[in-house]
Amino acid sequence: MSRRLSVALFAGLCLLFASQRLQAQPDDVEQAVLQSLTDHRDASWQIAQKIWQAAEPGYQETLSSQLLADAAEAAGLKVTREVAGIPTAFTAEFGSGHPVIGILGEYDALPGLSQQAQPERLPRADEHNWGHACGHHLFGTASLSAAIAVAGQIRSGKLPGTVRFYGCPAEEGGSGKVFMVQAGLFNDCDAVLHWHPGSRNAAGDRSSLARIAVKFQFEGRTAHAASAPHLGRSALDAVELTAHASELMREHTPDNTRIHHVITSGGEAPNVVPPFAEIYYYIRHPEGRYLKPLYDRLELCARAGALATETQLRIRYEGGIREIMPNSTLTSIVRRRLQTQNDLQWTAAEQQFAARIQQTLDTKDGLEALQTVDDVDNTIGKGSTDVGDISWVVPTTGFTTVCWVPGTPAHSWQAVAAGGMTIGEKGMHLAARTLALTAVDLFRSPAVLKQAAAELQQRLGTEKYESLMLPGQKPPLDYRNPPKAGAPATP
């Protein structure tokens, strides 16, 4: 049985369970959870706006993580900071015993995407280079709001078990959750929920691309490029040869492989032979088992570039993340909660904002996307996320809500703009309600949690979770720092 396919045997129980519960009016616990989210909506939006304004790089989200951890502590959750050896990672939990339901939150931003909350390309006046083009300011805040609302019902004795919020840094290339998995922070979880801002509402058995990230740095020898070029050894030449070799390699890779790169450092002036250069790669594939052999071949490209140019190679292997292991048992519940909670409507001002954004987009989807929930069963997303590693060790499911103008691509200034105003706030609140009510369902149904665990084992089969990190690898806390020369070269 393919793990990419829906598992009807497991989904059957959940479909029955969901239809029975979700056709009824909210009971007192559900109403209390929803009321908590409504009461704290303005405060949550203020936190999200502060994180949006801070727009901090991965592993450097000092203010963002503090805002969320302090809010959790103020709500009575037990906060443990600097988990997994990461200064900006934390957990916040309430309750005791099982079931343990985890809710993930993220809060790192992306480089080069500074943007005001305006429907035109307009970088911030403070020259801040970063922007929340993946909506992680909404992600972290909505997830914590849901955890706090659920904690209130555990405190009142109406729900059993433990709710745990995970403050997860550096999702954008830093693989923070992988190190949290390795630290054993998910070992006692019965289920994990997550969500993501997007331009459509969607839920289903969707996987993702596994990914390895690596930086190849070359040390050469400087010289005057006109009067003494023979004395120089160009690090940039090594980068260009590596890039050319990797382009040729593309023809001879398994189907659905993605290889992409940026040159992050290539010299300062044409008349100076560059003594240092760096090229930064991602390799992706729907199945993580293909990545290490692909990486080995990519490394040969870099070694060939160094050999041909008589430069020294230094390898910064930033590690990898696995593909998401879907779980239809959990997905069937979250999909119905998203459907019943979806009340997205935009004001005339928000529609005017959207219309101006759409003038800048190649794809102009209609606003009817606000009222629909797409079924993405048996699909593979083109992005990568370190949620994948969690899903190999505990049953996990997620969804997206409309936080951007339909048709907006992630990692764009248009996403930053919409996420900084009320369009993003409304999608965030929908996500918080969906997470909280799904968690309530799971706390009340040990049988569903048992089925979800059985489904995970069924999908895994004989395959075991293996991290794409190197043995003993530490979190790359400085991976967002500008590249620099001077460290010892890799043999």
Identify whether residues 173 and 251 lie together within a single domain: no
Identify whether residues 105 and 180 lie together within a single domain: yes
How many domains does the structure of the chain reveal?
A: 2
Report which residue type is found at 31.
Q
- Residue 61: pLDDT band with limits 50, 70, 90: very high
Other Cβ atoms within 10 Å of 225 Cβ, number? 16
**Phi-psi sector, 134: left (phi>0), alpha (psi -120 to 50), beta:** alpha
* Residue 408 DSSP class: P
Could you tell me the CATH number of the domain that includes residue 312?
Answer: 3.30.70.360
Identify whether residues 196 and 120 lie together within a single domain: yes
pLDDT surpassing 60 at residue 271:
yes
Report how far residue 138's alpha carbon sits from residue 117's, in angstroms, rounded to the nearest whole number: 14
Show the tokens assigned to 332: 């069937």
Nearest to 257 by CA among 382, 419, 440, 70: 382
What average pLDDT is seen over the chain? 94
Alpha helices by DSSP H, 208-347 = 235-249, 291-309, 328-341
Identify whether residues 265 and 333 lie together within a single domain: no
In angstroms, the Cα distances linking 241 to 130, 237, 356 are 31, 6, 43
Find the mean pLDDT for residues 332-342.
Answer: 97
pTM to 2 decimal places: 0.92
Residue 448 placed within a domain = yes
Identify whether residues 64 and 162 lie together within a single domain: yes
Identify whether residues 389 and 367 lie together within a single domain: yes
Identify whether residues 388 and 360 lie together within a single domain: yes
Identify whether residues 134 and 250 lie together within a single domain: no
Q: Please say whether the beta carbons of 210 and 384 come within 8 A.
A: yes
Identify whether residues 218 and 203 lie together within a single domain: no
Could you tell me the CATH number of the domain that includes residue 451?
Answer: 3.40.630.10
Residue 473 placed within a domain = no
pLDDT surpassing 70 at residue 330:
yes
Contacts with 423 (C-beta within 8 Å, 6 or more apart), sequence order: 346, 350, 353, 354, 402, 403, 404, 405
**Which of 289, 321, 353 is the last residue in one of the domains?**
321
Give the tens place of pLDDT for each residue, 404-448.
999 999 999 999 999 999 999 999 999 999 999 999 999 999 999
Show the tokens assigned to 48: 């999200």
Classify residue 483 as exposed, middle or buried by CB count within 10 Å of its CB (0-12, 13-18, 19+). middle
**Which of 305, 321, 337 is the last residue in one of the domains?**
321
Classify residue 370 as exposed, middle or buried by CB count within 10 Å of its CB (0-12, 13-18, 19+). buried
Query: Residues 428, 433, 436, 441: is their CA dihedral positive or negative?
Result: negative
Nearest to 410 by CA among 381, 373, 431: 381
Find the mean pLDDT for residues 181-189.
Answer: 98
Alpha helices by DSSP H, 8-100 = 8-22, 28-39, 41-54, 62-74
Q: Please say whether the beta carbons of 425 and 222 come within 8 A.
A: no
Show the tokens assigned to 2: 């393919």
Other Cβ atoms within 10 Å of 379 Cβ, number? 16
pLDDT at position 8 is: 44
Report which residue type is found at 67.
L
Residue 30 placed within a domain = yes
pLDDT at position 490 is: 46
Identify whether residues 179 and 228 lie together within a single domain: no
Residue 447 placed within a domain = yes
Find the mean pLDDT for residues 189-217.
Answer: 97
- Residue 363: pLDDT band with limits 50, 70, 90: confident
Identify whether residues 236 and 105 lie together within a single domain: no
pLDDT at position 24 is: 59
Residue 480 placed within a domain = no
Give the tens place of pLDDT for each residue, 100-140.
999 999 999 999 999 999 999 999 999 899 999 999 999 99
Identify whether residues 91 and 217 lie together within a single domain: no
- Residue 487: pLDDT band with limits 50, 70, 90: low
Residue 203 placed within a domain = yes
Range of the domain at 96: 8-208+323-460
Cα end-to-end distance, the chain, whole Å: 44
pLDDT surpassing 70 at residue 17:
no
Residue 481 placed within a domain = no
**Which of 321, 342, 376 is the last residue in one of the domains?**
321
Residue 465 placed within a domain = no
